[in-house]
Amino acid sequence: MFDAPRNRRSSAGRRPASAPARLSRRRVLGGAIGAAGVGMVAGGGRSAWSAAQQPETPPSFVTGERFAEPSVLRSADGRLDVALEAGWGPATIAGRNVTTYSYNGEVPGPTLRLRAGETLGVSLTNRMDEMTNFHTHGLHVSPSGNSDNVLALYEPNIQVDLAFDIPRDGTSGLYIPGFFWYHPHLHGTTSEQVNGGMAGALIVEGALDELPEIKGLTERLFILHAAAFDHDGNANLEGDPTLFVNNQVQPTVPIAPGETQRWRILNASPSVFINLALDGHVLHQIASDANPLREVRSREAIVMAPGERVEVLVQGGAGGRYALRSLPWGQDLEFQAQPEYPIATVVSEGPEVEPTPLPTTLFPIEDLRQATIDRRRELVFSQTLDPFAPVIDGHPFDHDRVDQRVNLGATEEWVVRNTSSDVHPFHIHVNDFQVVSINGEPVDAYSWEDTTPIPAFGEIVIRTRFLDFTGKYVYHCHILDHEDLGMMGIVEVVRDETEA
């Protein structure tokens, strides 16, 4: 039976009892993103945030340091075995000592790199006085047992061995390699633990990495994450969040004039949207949510909902400094509008190099628009405001209730409606999907996805195939506080078609 975890952070060495234990509605959609102690409103909340209403700015973090990435752990002989300790305790973020959630005391956690067909082994030790679990976001692996089982829970002070057998590329109907991430996923605490810093990148290398126009390029990993800390350095979900890039604030990213770099970018923020743009440059997108596009998509800006990943090729401009920023987003939304805010500074310097030619084609996607559909379903994401209650199909998440029962191997079409004034990023585990229409308009998708926004008062239509794995897993809004408050459901994949 599922037992909702209780907040026990008042014990010695934990966050003070006076610190809030959950994101409030105001923090989720009405917060402020601070950069180096300069607050900027990041989402028009249910009530306006005046300067007087905002908390005092905490001591500044170090800004403008040279870009650095998390530590990297690589596979050998077909395996990558890692030991992760989930804890609440000391860490260093942007030159400042803080107390927060982390894996191994690192924020973000180490980057895990392996290849399709290999096995990831994780020895997870829960050093906290609260429960947790472990999710490999986007991986096409078993949702059962000691694999990607987010319905499991791990008590304080226990150690559990997990194994993720990644299929070989081509053995499934899905593209297996790509850019994933890992984080806790225990209902009721996901937002708090991820917001504190328990997250890291997971990269599975494969065919995209071997394309001549991509192989050998300088790679950069950007984990974008908004978090708040009080004056004592404690992670505090009610404070002004600062946008961090790999544990730094507004770092400087070097590139040579004409040089082509490959950037992997993750929005690991629990609630903040990112409208990514680089002054004076075009972002040449090659992948979305671990799926390569069918062709390079050159874009001035890319909107990233929480949980989404993109990969882009960037070709350095003439010598100079260029702002990497999030442009204003959602200005027509009632509550979620965000202004512009800075992310990093790209510094183009050194001898000019010949730009590497961009790929002309990438990988074809399996287009499900002409597929035979075995079943159609309709889901409704909705919410009440007083009290605030985000739900799916009129009821909150129930650990013991199966909401959708699906045949293994079935191809299904889901109409996902949103009756609220908020945008909700739809995410489903294990099997990716193809968006075929948005608000009734057909979509010629560039790739499959695992996370995509449902427009406010709108709908998306997706098609997906339930491949390879039986068992129970979840779909939910990837605004993590919405998930924790109930906007999540369970899908069970079964072999016996009479059960569906």
Work out the pLDDT band at 352, boundaries 50, 70, 90. Answer: very high
- Residue 32's Cβ-side half-sphere holds a number of Cα atoms within 13 Å equal to 24
Which residue from 286, 345, 287, 297 is spatially nearest to 317, judged by alpha carbons? 345
- Residue-level pLDDT at 232: 87
pLDDT tens-digit profile of 109-158? 999 999 999 999 999 999 999 999 999 999 999 999 999 999 999 999 99
240-255 per-position pLDDT tens digit: 789 999 999 999 999 9
How many angstroms separate the CA atoms of 454 and 202, rounded? 26
What are the extents of the domains in the chain? 221-348, 368-499
CA distance 426 to 376: 17
Quick one: pLDDT at residue 36?
Answer: 39
pLDDT at 43 over 70: no
Instruction: Give me the percent of the chain exceeding a pLDDT of 70.
Output: 87
The answer to whether 221-348 and 368-499 have equal CATH topology is yes
What average pLDDT does range 61-87 have in this prediction? Answer: 97
Confidence of residue 44 (pLDDT cuts 50, 70, 90): very low
Looking at residue 396, the DSSP 8-state letter turns out to be -
Q: What is the mean pLDDT of residues 468-488?
A: 97
CATH class for the domain made up of 221-348? mainly beta
Whether 157 contacts 231, CB under 8 Å = no
> Which of the four pLDDT bands, split at 50, 70 and 90, describes residue 17?
very low
pLDDT tens per residue across span 156-168? 999 999 999 999 8
| H/E element, 263 | strand 260-267
Contact call for residues 45 and 29 (beta carbons, < 8 A)? yes
- In 3D space, the residue among 189, 197, 192 whose CA is nearest the CA of residue 98 turns out to be 197
d(CA 294, CA 365): 6
Q: Give the separation between CA 143 and CA 120, rounded to whole angstroms.
A: 14
Burial class from Cβ neighbours inside 10 Å (0-12, 13-18, 19+) for residue 69 reads middle
Q: Which fold has domain 368-499?
A: Immunoglobulin-like (2.60.40)
Q: What is the pLDDT of residues 303-326, one digit of tens each?
A: 999 999 999 999 999 999 999 999
User: For strand 404-407 and strand 388-392, is the pairing parallel, antiparallel, or unpaired?
Assistant: unpaired
* pLDDT tens, position by position, 444-465: 999 999 999 999 999 999 999 9
pLDDT at 292: 96
State the Cα–Cα distance between residues 320 and 303, nearest whole angstrom.
Answer: 25
Query: Which H/E stretch holds residue 450?
Result: none
pLDDT classification of 59: cutoffs 50, 70, 90: low
**Long-range contacts made by residues 42-49, C-beta under 8 angstroms, separation at least 24?**
42/226, 42/241, 42/272, 42/338, 42/339, 42/341, 43/271, 43/272, 43/330, 43/335, 43/336, 43/337, 43/338, 44/333, 44/334, 44/335, 44/336, 44/337, 45/335, 46/335, 46/385
Identify the burial level of 217 via C-beta atoms within 10 angstroms of its C-beta, where 0-12 means exposed, 13-18 middle and 19 or more buried: middle
Mean pLDDT of 384-396: 94
Name the token pair of 304: 């990233």
Residue 152: both structure tokens together: 């499991």
Q: What is the mean pLDDT of residues 45-60?
A: 36
Tell me what pLDDT residue 489 has: 98
258, 281, 315, 317 from 351: Cα distances, Å: 9, 18, 14, 12
Average pLDDT in the chain: 88
pLDDT at residue 23 is higher than 70: no
Q: What is the pLDDT of residue 497?
A: 61
